[in-house]
């Protein structure tokens, strides 16, 4: 990314290397910043299972340090990037991200009379990300699948970026913004690629379907048209909540990749073609 923007004349664009648990380094990075988007995390499920203390150090303790320094630096709006694996988590990675999201949201209790407000977005797999399942299926000589009936949410990098920025503009503090994503089954990837398939079975803790909004959050969830907003348990600011006047979802509502709109084979091919990623186009 630094090479890509090497000739950008905007002197506000700076690149730092550092550890998010290093508060002094965070203060240097956040100096003069108006808005913060916290996306730093160890995102690998197997890595977290094998390196639990490091996963917790970065994904939980690191998030706490980012939230704390954001307050100390007087940042106005701070947005956390959550994941569907943190909703009703069954893996250490998911549990760490769930804990980090809750920590971030409830940090509003410390800054209710201050400057900084904290909110989160929560979404699924970024389709055109490096090392993601879409790239994996494209480059593999044979398809190694866990369970063809599994479903996963998908979002392109551009869609994710636009959703984060729009949510940043809507937030008051404490909300979790969830896009209305579609999902694809692993079988759909199998149908698209003419390759040998090896079925290995689900890994420990791997769910058949991911969840973006649990039924326990339904009572606080409003349908905003093309996205949902999960309102905070405790409102830390004065005024009307985001989504006032919009419908609450049913009491038994759950937003799962099993009941989301389905991405078919033709749509999956279009995703490969339009993603703008190095993955390439599938004929």
Q: Could you say which of 85, 136, 180, 207 is catalytic?
A: 85
CA 140 vs CA 197, 245, 253: distances in Å: 10, 49, 37
Q: Has 85 been annotated as catalytic?
A: yes
- Residue 142, C-beta contacts closer than 8 angstroms, at least 6 positions apart: 195, 196, 197, 198
CA distance linking residue 87 with residue 213, whole number of Å:
7
Can you list the pairs that 168-171 forms with residues at least 24 positions away whose Cβ atoms lie under 8 Å?
168/35, 168/37, 168/77, 168/79, 168/119, 170/229, 170/242, 171/77, 171/79, 171/117, 171/119, 171/242
CA distance linking residue 24 with residue 21, whole number of Å:
9
Helix or strand run (H / E) with residue 98: helix 92-106
Contact 97, 63 (CB under 8 A): no
SS3 163: helix
So which residues are the catalytic ones? 85
């Amino acid at each position: 990314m630094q090479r890509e923007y090497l000739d950008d004349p905007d002197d506000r664009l700076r690149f730092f290397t550092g550890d998010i648990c290093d508060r002094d380094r965070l203060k240097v990075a956040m100096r003069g910043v108006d808005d913060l988007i916290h996306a730093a995390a160890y995102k690998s499920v197997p890595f977290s299972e094998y390196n639990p203390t490091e996963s917790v150090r970065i994904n939980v303790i690191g998030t706490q340090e980012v939230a704390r320094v954001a307050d100390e630096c007087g940042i106005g709006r701070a947005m956390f990037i959550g994941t569907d694996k943190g909703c009703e988590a069954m893996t250490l990675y998911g549990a760490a991200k769930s804990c980090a999201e809750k920590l971030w949201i409830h940090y509003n209790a410390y800054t209710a009379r201050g400057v900084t407000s904290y909110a989160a977005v929560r979404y699924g797999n970024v389709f055109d990300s490096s090392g993601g399942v879409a790239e994996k299926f494209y480059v593999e000589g044979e398809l190694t699948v866990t369970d063809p009936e599994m479903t996963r949410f998908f979002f392109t990098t551009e869609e994710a970026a636009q959703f984060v920025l729009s949510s940043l503009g809507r937030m008051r503090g404490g909300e979790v913004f969830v896009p209305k994503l579609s999902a694809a089954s692993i079988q759909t990837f199998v149908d698209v690629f003419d390759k040998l398939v090896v079925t290995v079975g689900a890994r420990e803790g791997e769910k058949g379907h991911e969840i973006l909004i649990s039924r326990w959050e339904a009572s606080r969830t409003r349908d905003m048209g093309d996205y949902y907003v999960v309102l905070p348990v405790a409102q830390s600011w004065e005024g009307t909540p985001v989504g006032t006047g919009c419908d609450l979802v049913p009491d038994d509502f759950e937003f799962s990749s099993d009941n989301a709109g389905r991405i078919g084979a033709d749509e999956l091919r279009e995703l490969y073609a339009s993603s703008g990623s190095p993955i390439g186009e599938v004929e």
